Amino acid sequence: MILKHDITTLNTKRALSSSLKKLMQQKPFSKITVSNLISDSGLNRNTFYYHFEDIYALLRWTLEQEAIEVVRQFDLMVDYEDAIRFVLDYLQANNAMLKNIYDSLGRDELKRFFYNDFIGITKSIIEDIDEAQEIGAPAEFKSFLSMFCTEALAGILLEAITEKMPQNHEAIISNITIVITYGIPASLKAAVQKETEQIR
């Protein structure tokens, strides 16, 4: 059951998020102030700070609600191709907004946004593959592989935003599928083999 307070909170956050996206069509993200947001949304300063620590927190919430939370709802062991396609389509549909963020925050900061949001998803995929195929890879290696894959994924998403890679979504999906289907299991098995050899 959704409480009335929760609905009000969600609607307030959505109103602020909508104002942020609207303002980003008019000015760089780095130039947007809390005063701009409350003026556009009709809310007050106390309401803003009750829900968000700062504008960066509002930006993170916006991206999480529109993209990350949707991805988490996919059964990633079965529907990962659809999840990847959704993310790429989202990047394309919101390219102007994301370029604005990129230009304001810089590559490293936006990459950190993607990394922090996707690391949990990547860990889940690797753990599921390890369990489903009964590989039993060392936890330390699975953690490393999660970071490695997330770093690569964040880089690919940034390249898509800046249009430095061809906008052929199916080719990107196909390449990522090869890594998930063959590359990750092979890496996990190799880690087990190396650990076994070291024990001997």
Percent of the chain at pLDDT > 90 equals: 56
Three-state SS sequence of 146-163 = HHHHHHHHHHHHHHHHCC
For residue 179, pLDDT beyond 50: yes
For residue 151, pLDDT beyond 70: yes
Burial 166-185 (b: 16+ CB within 10 A, else e): eeebeebbeebeeebeeebb
CA distance 2 to 122: 30
pTM: 0.80
Structure tokens of 149? 């894959």
Q: Among all chains, which residue has been given the structure tokens 């059964």?
A: 75
Which range among 111-115, 124-128, 194-198 has the greatest average pLDDT? 124-128
Higher pLDDT, 40 or 105: 40
- Please list, in sequence order, all residues whose beta carbon lies within 8 angstroms of the beta carbon of residue 23, skipping any fewer than 6 positions away: 32, 36, 37, 40
Specify the pLDDT at position 166: 58
Instruction: State the average pLDDT over residues 136-161.
Output: 93
Residues 60-101: tens digit of each pLDDT: 899 888 888 888 888 777 788 888 899 888 888 888 899 999
pLDDT-derived band of residue 165, with 50, 70 and 90 as boundaries?
Answer: low
Instruction: State the average pLDDT over residues 158-187.
Output: 86
pLDDT-derived band of residue 168, with 50, 70 and 90 as boundaries?
Answer: confident
